[in-house]
Amino acid sequence: MNTETNFPTQNRRAVPAPTRGELLFFCLSMLTAWGVWFCALQTVRHLGDILRAPLLTDILGADTQGLLAGIFSGLSDARVEPGIFVLLCVWAVFALLFCSHNRVRRRAVLGLLPLFLLIGYILSVVCADVNGVRFYDILFSLAKMAGNGLFEVL
């Protein structure tokens, strides 16, 4: 018998408050989110250094390698969008509140926090503003021209 369906109010009251472990996990996740957001572009920037590896010169060609490495290194000048992180946090808090009457859902949401962080990380990088240009505009144009054979020509 599904008591939740029949007695939702009683059942909500019956569910215990979040445990210390859950709260700790939530706080740590938020702190990690902050750290990840803060470091997102710094870490991606190292892709630029990695792309400059001599090993890749033969594979990509010097010009393509230079272009890609330059673009990722250019992310070090990015102005990170705090709004994305704030949005992510608000989303997570609302999700937790919404599910606070149900431990299973609550733990599922907590478990999904790393996924939110990943999404936030990707959004932070993709939406990064570098010298007034959004990184997604660069990615779109690169993708468009990659389809037209840019890298073969370079």
Can residue 39 be called a binding residue for another protein (CB under 8 A)? no
Contacting residue, 67, 89, 96, 99, with another protein by CB under 8 A:
67
d(CA 14, CA 96) in angstroms, rounded, equals 17
Region from 19-27, 31-39, 110-118, 134-142 binding another protein, contact rule CB under 8 A: 134-142
Closest residue by Cα to residue 51 from 63, 68, 39: 68
Among 35, 77, 83, 90, binds another protein (CB under 8 A): 77
Q: Give the C-alpha separation, 128 to 78, whole Å.
A: 6
Establish if 47 lies at the interface with another protein (CB under 8 A). Answer: no
Identity of residue 40: A
Q: Is 99 in the site for another protein (CB under 8 A)?
A: no
Q: Determine contact, residues 81/124, Cβ cutoff 8 Å.
A: yes
**Is residue 150 part of the contact set for another protein (CB under 8 A)?**
yes
The residue ranges that bind another protein (CB under 8 A) are: 62-63, 66-71, 74, 77, 130-133, 135, 137-138, 141, 145, 148-150, 153-154
